Amino acid sequence: MKEEMNQKNNDNIWKVALALVCAAILGYGFFYSKNTTSNLAYLIGFSFPLALLIWAIFYSAVARKRGAKIAGFSFLAIYISMIANGLIGYSHHKQEAKQAISEIKKQYSELIDSSTDSQGFPKRIDKPIDTTPIASGEFGEMERFLKEIMNQMASQRNDYLLELEAIGWNSILDANRIKADKTFIEGKVTIQKAKVVVAKYTKITQSSYKDIKDNISSLDISESSKKEMLTGFNRELRKSKATVDAMWTLEAKTISEFDKIITLLAAKKSAWAVEGEQILFYNDSDLERFNSYIATIQNIVKQQEAIQRQNVQTANRGLDSINELE
């Protein structure tokens, strides 16, 4: 009786050991696998050598002398577990990607919405993005990285608006300010300072591209993922730079139009007057020139808004394309 129990226990040892090995393989697939493909043919070929190695260790330690049937069954169980490991890893990988992309889209949308006031005028972004990733693994690292870039963009924009505010840009066409600026020196100095501020932040923005590229290289992700990110970054770099350069060019043109307005008012001091909050012109030709400058500024703002909308669409497409990392 005792010998039968020992024999039964010995027979169960390989089953328990095989179950533990298979469970460990599947667990690794869920928690640690970095597989990014669901191609079954690839997984069948890729899994075979490693499954054979694991089986050889298992067979040597547990299943030796238990017959060809058990040896074959154990190899099949380990092999299937390895293939399932790849499929689980892929599924988990895609789920993490979905979480990361959804979170980044949400934060980006909130960032854009908070960049203008109720009337559509630019305002400082008061709430920074929490860079703690929702996703885990490589996509968590990518999520953190993109959130940090968005925070950097918001910070630079805030600094730009603060510097414009500090030089009095927001009141450049305030009727009472103009009325008090008898020599127009204040207005002309403000215009020159604004040009310097725009040139400064144009340069800062352009230099940030190299920083982003360098930071991608230092991310805690696989070399293949870094390569994919750098490839995508380099592919979109020319378009992105052109778009950003266009925005800053339009910003510089806006200041030039304000410069024309100040020049007009300074040259035609006797052709207009301030009444209440308005500047009133005495003849139609001066009024038409003034209105043409204002119309140009309004048109520039519309162009900037169109570029902004395009940027949002491009950013969302870029985030969706991360799902294609294979």
pLDDT, one tens digit for every residue, the chain (326 residues): 444 444 444 556 767 777 877 777 767 766 666 655 555 555 566 666 777 777 677 767 766 656 666 777 777 777 777 766 666 666 666 777 778 888 888 888 888 888 887 777 788 888 888 889 888 878 888 889 888 988 998 899 999 999 999 999 999 999 999 989 989 999 999 999 999 999 999 999 888 888 888 888 888 888 888 887 888 778 777 777 888 889 999 999 999 999 999 999 999 988 999 988 889 999 999 999 999 999 999 999 999 888 888 877 777 666 666 555 44
Last residue of a domain, one of 54, 80, 95: 95
Q: Using the 3D structure, point to which of 95, 125, 156 is the last residue of a domain.
A: 95
pLDDT score for 134:
87
Domain that residue 80 falls in: 2-95
- On whether the CB atoms of residues 134 and 101 are closer than 8 A, the answer is no
Q: What pLDDT, on the 0 to 100 scale, is given for residue 325? A: 47
Q: 72-87 b/e with 16+ CB inside 10 Å = b?
A: ebbbebbbebbbbbbb
Decide if 103 is inside a domain.
Answer: no
Same domain as 314, residue 225 = yes
Identify whether 291 is part of a domain: yes
Q: How far apart are CA 288 and CA 180, in angstroms?
A: 24
CA quadruple 304, 305, 306, 311: dihedral sign: positive
Strands, E assignment, the chain: 272-275, 278-281
Residue 128 lies in a domain: no
- Count up the domains in the chain and report the number: 2
- 192 and 314 belong to one structural domain: yes
Collapsing DSSP to helix, strand or coil, 272 comes out as: strand
Query: Residue 2's pLDDT is what?
Result: 43
Of 13, 37, 35, residue with least CA distance to 26:
35
- Say which residue the tokens 């697939």 belong to: 29
> Could you give the C-alpha distances from 77 to 12, 70, 82, 280, in angstroms and in order?
16, 10, 9, 88
Domain end position, chosen among 95, 116, 137: 95
Same domain, 297 and 188: yes
Q: Are residues 184 and 293 in the same domain?
A: yes
